[in-house]
């Protein structure tokens, strides 16, 4: 009996990434996850720019396995302004990507901010650095720095109180660090300022959960048939963290949300990026069961672990040691892989800054050695599962 393994990939931010393609080869990855980060959100990825990236990857001995992300313009998320024009541009980019090798295109539908953390230098017990999300720090940013209207109403009284005390004790430097962390975004892409963020948030003031889901449904009904036609599998990334933040509705957080999204269109391209770190931050999400339930709709996986506390704060733990049962997750994903003919790629998502990387400038979450450890552990675990099945 032949057991098909998952495709082992690695995220590369392009030629400016301090981690080179050769480093990635040595880490043992088989394919690359990348995007044209230099093209402004919403604009068409031209065949020339796509070809350039393919050539760069080829020179390093790689194929473009997954596009992450083909970002959805804010006008589309709000269904306002030139959203129709941006949807047409999205379709054009999909068309241009069709021959590119990468058959998976990842995107997210998080309004205003992509993934959000409050500390990117959280020291864990072994001295390595991890990414951390803390509600009181989030409230400091939201209530005291951003000064969003009625922000305090969105937090429990205990958090509001903690935030007040923390803010009072903060230096200007501490405040700036928190701002830089919250608005960090994606390496190589445009950074927001608190002012810019405030303005963007206001534009969402009358878009509630229902409206945002309708906008996602509309987008998917437009683009998923086109992606299907070009043999592309779309993969929506869950909201990270999987909770409402900054007064925004978050609609890709749990099993019900994922089921809704799958119901929006039958087009085969309509699928998921199963991020165990994002979904794992919510204790209600039973990850292996969800993988089994969504099965063939899982087009890509981010494998990462978290350790949560009672208040809902969490830090990113080592890949095998946290609240996510990675063994069961990989088993469930391998089961799905046996049911489909295409590859299901995964990447070791994030990693601690550790060893020599502690003295280097690295992209938060994306230093080499922490991810190398993650990939090595996951590969070993996967191989162990596969071998035990063969017996
Ligand atoms: C963070 C990433 C996300 C992800 C996008 C997908 O490290 O997992 O930024 O790439 O949300 O669109």
d(CA 265, CA 78): 19
d(CA 17, CA 1): 40
Residue 380 Cα distances to 72, 153, 346, 383, 386, angstroms = 35, 47, 14, 5, 10
Sign of CA dihedral 56, 57, 63, 68: negative
d(CA 380, CA 160): 44
134 ligand 1 Cβ < 6 A: no
d(CA 318, CA 351): 7
238 ligand 1 Cβ < 6 A: no
Pocket test for ligand 1, best of 240, 250, 278 (most atoms within 8 A of CB): 240
Compute, in angstroms, the gap from residue 237 CA to the centroid of ligand 1: 7
Return the ligand 1 atom nearest residue 277 CA: 8
Pocket test for ligand 1, best of 237, 345, 346 (most atoms within 8 A of CB): 237
Topology annotation, domain 7-117+198-390:
TIM Barrel (3.20.20)
Low-confidence ranges of the chain (pLDDT < 50): none
pLDDT (0 to 100) of residue 391:
74
pLDDT (0 to 100) of residue 111:
96
The pair of structure tokens assigned to 173 is 């430097």
d(CA 197, CA 9): 33
365 ligand 1 Cβ < 6 A: yes
Compute, in angstroms, the gap from residue 114 CA to the centroid of ligand 1: 7
């Amino acid at each position: 009996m032949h057991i098909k393994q998952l495709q082992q990939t690695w995220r590369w931010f392009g030629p400016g990434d301090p981690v080179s393609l050769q480093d990635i080869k040595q880490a043992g990855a088989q394919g690359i996850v990348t995007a044209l980060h230099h093209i402004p959100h919403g604009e068409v990825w031209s065949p020339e720019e796509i070809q350039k990236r393919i050539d760069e990857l080829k020179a390093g001995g790689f194929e473009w396995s997954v596009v992450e992300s083909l970002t959805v313009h804010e006008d589309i998320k709000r269904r306002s302004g030139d959203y129709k024009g941006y949807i047409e541009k999205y379709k054009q980019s999909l068309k241009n990507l069709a021959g590119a090798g990468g058959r998976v295109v990842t995107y997210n539908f998080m309004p205003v901010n992509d993934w959000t953390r409050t500390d990117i230098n959280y020291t864990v017990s072994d001295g390595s650095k991890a990414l951390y999300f803390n509600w009181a720090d989030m409230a400091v940013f939201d209530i005291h720095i951003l000064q969003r209207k009625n922000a305090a109403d969105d937090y429990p009284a205990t958090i509001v109180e903690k935030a007040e005390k923390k803010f009072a004790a903060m230096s200007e430097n501490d405040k700036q660090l928190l701002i830089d962390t919250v608005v960090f975004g994606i390496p190589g892409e445009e950074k927001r300022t608190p002012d810019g963020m405030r303005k963007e948030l206001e534009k969402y003031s009358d878009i509630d959960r229902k409206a945002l889901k309708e906008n996602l449904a509309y987008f998917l009904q437009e683009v998923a048939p086109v992606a299907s036609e070009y043999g592309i599998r779309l993969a929506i990334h869950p909201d990270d963290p999987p909770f409402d933040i900054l007064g925004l509705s978050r609609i890709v957080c749990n099993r019900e949300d994922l089921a809704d999204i799958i119901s929006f269109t039958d087009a085969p391209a309509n699928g998921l990026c199963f991020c165990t770190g994002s979904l794992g931050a919510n204790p209600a999400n039973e990850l292996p069961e969800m993988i089994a339930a969504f099965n063939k709709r899982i087009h890509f996986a981010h494998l990462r672990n978290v350790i949560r506390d009672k208040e809902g704060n969490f830090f990113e733990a080592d890949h095998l040691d946290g609240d996510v049962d990675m063994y069961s997750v990989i088993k469930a994903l391998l089961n799905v892989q046996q049911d489909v003919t295409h590859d299901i790629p995964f990447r070791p998502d994030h990693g601690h800054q550790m060893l020599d990387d502690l003295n280097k400038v690295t992209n938060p979450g994306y230093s080499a050695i922490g991810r190398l450890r993650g990939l090595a552990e996951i590969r070993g675990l996967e191989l162990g599962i596969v071998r035990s099945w063969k017996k």
